Amino acid sequence: MQVLKRIVVAAVLVGGFAQAWGQAWVVRPEWVAAHEVFLSSDALGGRGSATRMEEIAANYVASEFEAYGLKTAPGLSGYLQSADVEQYMAQNGRQRVRLAEKPGKIKTFNAIGYLPGSDPAAGTILLTAHLDHLGTDPNEPGDAIYNGANDDASGTTAVLELAHALAAGPQLKRSVLFVCYGSEELGGLGSTYFGKHPPVPLKEIVTNVEFEMIGAQDPKMAKGVMLFSGWERSNLGPTLKEHGALVGPDPYPEQHFFQRSDNFSLALMGVVAHTAAGWGLVPTYHKANDDMQHLDLPYMTAAIQSLVEPMRWLASSDFVPAWNKGGQPKGRE
């Protein structure tokens, strides 16, 4: 572990020197692969929602945030935000889970890092992904571990490497919150809790971009381009594209991807929030073969790279993303 930490610190220093010398930031494929190797390893047992393995994944993300030089978010004493989860019996007789009103034995964890901006009145950018997956299935023949390399270790890796890049450069005008949620697979519990207990007031969050399954190229999208859910709902996606982000309209409107990721929890609260994703209908979705062997690491690395400067611009500009007429969701659609 100490050797890994020294490597991470060295990488941060090298990146910082590159910024000081005026060189463009380069997302290194070995950094991307290193995050994936750990997060999707069999040792983490599929990072099941609200399990010990999810907590380990959250601690890994938290330690990387700290190594990159991020601060703890306002009001938090560390880089983790925990929420209590409870089981309950639904009307159909099935066991369900929800956020608990009282402390219990089951917890889920959000990893949060904060990059303070120079202008407290300029607002905060929120970059997110979910770090949990499906855990293991003892009824699965052969490999019982759902590694979740694409869903959503790839999105978590994007948040980590964007934190790496932005923290290594000059101070931005706007603050940036980097959050990797727990228990998305249980119904967006981590993002729902975050929305109810944000480190900064929701009215100060300028926009939210979630990263979901960016580990494979969608054959319906132009080469290298990620789909951006709810493209037509706001001016955010087209503006990021104008500044170099490899994003485009979602070709699967019938799948309602805008409502199916953590961005929707924030969108329901009024935040202009969208998801950037790779292959929307990837064959490995929620299967045991969602592993390193089925990732397109060059595509993934290039996708993250394309977001660095657009996010730096967004966090340094006066542009305020806005919903288009009728674009803001009013409830569960």
pLDDT attached to residue 332: 66
pLDDT attached to residue 104: 80
CA atoms within 13 A on the CB side of 259: 12
151, 212 Cβ separation under 8 angstroms: yes
- Could you report the per-residue pLDDT of 76-85, keeping only the tens digit for each? 999 999 999 9
Residue 125 counted as domain residue:
yes
pLDDT of the chain along its 333 residues, tens only?
Answer: 444 444 444 454 555 544 544 579 999 999 999 999 999 999 999 999 999 999 999 999 999 999 999 999 999 999 999 999 998 878 777 888 999 988 889 999 999 999 999 999 999 999 999 999 999 998 877 789 999 999 999 999 999 999 999 999 999 999 999 999 999 999 999 999 999 999 999 999 999 999 999 999 999 999 999 999 999 999 999 999 999 999 999 999 999 999 999 999 999 999 999 999 999 999 999 999 999 999 999 999 999 999 999 999 999 999 999 999 999 998 765
pLDDT attached to residue 143: 85
DSSP letter string over 79-136? SEEEEEEEEEE-TTS-EEEEE-SS--SEEEEEEEEEE--S-GGG-EEEEEEE--B--B
R_g over Cα of the chain: 19
161: nearest Cα among 276, 27, 18: 27
CA distance 124 to 175: 5
Residue 263 counted as domain residue:
yes
What's the pTM value of the predicted model, to 2 decimals?
0.92
178: nearest Cα among 264, 267, 114, 99: 114
- What is the extent of the structural domain holding 296? 2-314
pLDDT attached to residue 171: 97
Q: Which helix (H) or strand (E) holds 253?
A: none
SS3 label, residue 233: helix
Residue 65 counted as domain residue:
yes
pLDDT attached to residue 22: 53
Q: How many domains does the chain contain in total?
A: 1
DSSP 191: H
pLDDT attached to residue 174: 98
Using CA atoms of 253, 256, 260, 261 in order, give the dihedral in degrees to the nearest 10: 30
311, 168 Cβ separation under 8 angstroms: no
CATH label of the domain that carries residue 187: 3.40.630.10
Cis (ω within 30 of 0) for the bond into 42? Answer: no
pLDDT attached to residue 5: 45
Question: E strands, 137-186, where?
Answer: 175-181
Residue 320 counted as domain residue:
no
191, 261 Cβ separation under 8 angstroms: no
Residue 238 counted as domain residue:
yes
Q: Write the CA distances from 80 to 22, 75, 269, integer angstroms.
A: 34, 11, 22
128: nearest Cα among 182, 179, 164: 179
Q: Write the CA distances from 210 to 6, 158, 265, 290, 299, integer angstroms.
A: 29, 10, 11, 20, 18
Residue 332 counted as domain residue:
no
CA distance 274 to 88: 30
Residue 43 counted as domain residue:
yes
Residue 159 counted as domain residue:
yes
30 Cβ neighbours under 8 A, 6+ residues apart: none
Q: Environment class of residue 187 by beta-carbon count within 10 Å: exposed (0-12), middle (13-18) or buried (19+)?
A: middle
